[in-house]
Amino acid sequence: MTPAKQLLPLLCVSLLLSACSTSNTSKQFIVVPPSESQIETSVKDQVSLTLNAFTPVAGQALPNNSVLEAYKARGYDPIWIKDKKINTSIYKLVDILEQSYTHGLNPIHYHANIIKEYLELKQPSPQQLAEMDVISTIALTSYAHDLSNGRYEPLLIDPNWQLDAPNNNWKDLLYLDSATDMVDSLRLLAPRSPQYQVLQKWLVYYQDLAAKEKDIFVSAGVPLSAGDEGPRVAQLRARLVQLGDIRFSTRKVNEEQFDLRLKDALIRFQRRHHITADGAAGSKTIEMLNVPLETRAKQITYNLERWRWLPSELEANRVWVDLTNYTVNMHLNGELTSMKAVIGKPERKTPVFKGLMTYMVTNPTWRVPHRIARENLLPKLQTDPNYLVKHGYKVYSSWSIGAKELDSTKIDWQGINEDELSFRFEQEPDEGNALGQYKFMFPNKNEIYLHDTPAKHLFREENRAFSSGCVRLENPKEFAREITKGSKQLNEMNKALKNGSNTVISLPTYIPVYLVYFTVVPNANGMLEFRDDIYERDTLMEEAMGYSAFRAKDSI
Residues catalogued as catalytic: 451, 470
User: Residue 553's CB: how many other CB atoms inside 10 A?
Assistant: 10
- Residues 6 or more apart in contact with residue 410 via CB below 8 angstroms: none
User: Do the Cβ atoms of 366 and 435 come closer than 8 Å?
Assistant: yes
Q: CA 212 to CA 433: how far, in whole Å?
A: 58
**Amino acid identity of 549?**
A
Q: CA 10 to CA 86: how far, in whole Å?
A: 9
What are the C-alpha distances in Å from 512 to residues 230, 289, 330, 471, 509? 54, 38, 10, 15, 10
User: Do the Cβ atoms of 20 and 120 come closer than 8 Å?
Assistant: yes
- Residues 6 or more apart in contact with residue 152 via CB below 8 angstroms: 59, 60, 305, 544, 545
Question: Strands 81-82 and 85-86, how do they pair?
Answer: antiparallel
- Residue 131: half-sphere exposure toward Cβ, Cα within 13 Å: 20
Q: CA 67 to CA 60: how far, in whole Å?
A: 15
Which residues are 504's β-sheet partners? 361
Question: Strands 503-516 and 318-322, how do they pair?
Answer: parallel
- Residues 6 or more apart in contact with residue 379 via CB below 8 angstroms: none
User: Do the Cβ atoms of 393 and 531 come closer than 8 Å?
Assistant: no
Q: CA 440 to CA 357: how far, in whole Å?
A: 7
